[in-house]
């Protein structure tokens, strides 16, 4: 999803856009060497926990939804195991 779409989804689901969370999660998007493989860096449970440490539980919920929305674009389905960290994300073939 695009930044604006993540913000709109967060606003509908959580009452605020959480721009800072979406920017942080996608900080390495389009940058070498990651490009679209940037998701392996923060799109997992460890990333959600870091968001919670930085900005609290409401931001963590928005982060998890951001990740779920992106994972679903990679053939992940609701009910599939949520990646734990970067290594797990790669092992699951989501990179």
Ranges of each domain in the chain? 3-91
**What is the reported pLDDT for 36?**
76
Residue pair 68/62 in contact (Cβ under 8 Å)? The answer is no
Distances (CA, A) of 53 to 20, 31, 76: 14, 25, 26
Record the pTM: 0.93
Element (DSSP H or E) covering residue 1: none
**What is the reported pLDDT for 74?**
83
Distances (CA, A) of 51 to 35, 59, 66, 77, 78: 21, 6, 12, 23, 21
| Residues of the chain scoring pLDDT < 50 | none
**What is the reported pLDDT for 27?**
96
**What is the reported pLDDT for 2?**
94
**What is the reported pLDDT for 35?**
82
């Amino acid at each position: 999803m695009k930044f604006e779409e993540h913000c709109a989804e967060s606003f509908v689901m959580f009452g605020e856009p959480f721009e800072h969370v979406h920017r942080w999660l996608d900080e390495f998007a389009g940058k070498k060497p990651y490009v679209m493989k940037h998701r392996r860096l923060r799109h997992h449970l460890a990333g959600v926990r870091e968001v919670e440490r930085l900005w609290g539980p409401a931001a963590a919920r928005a982060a998890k939804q951001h990740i779920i929305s992106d994972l679903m674009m990679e053939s992940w389905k609701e009910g599939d195991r949520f990646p734990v960290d970067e290594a797990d994300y790669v092992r699951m073939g989501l990179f």
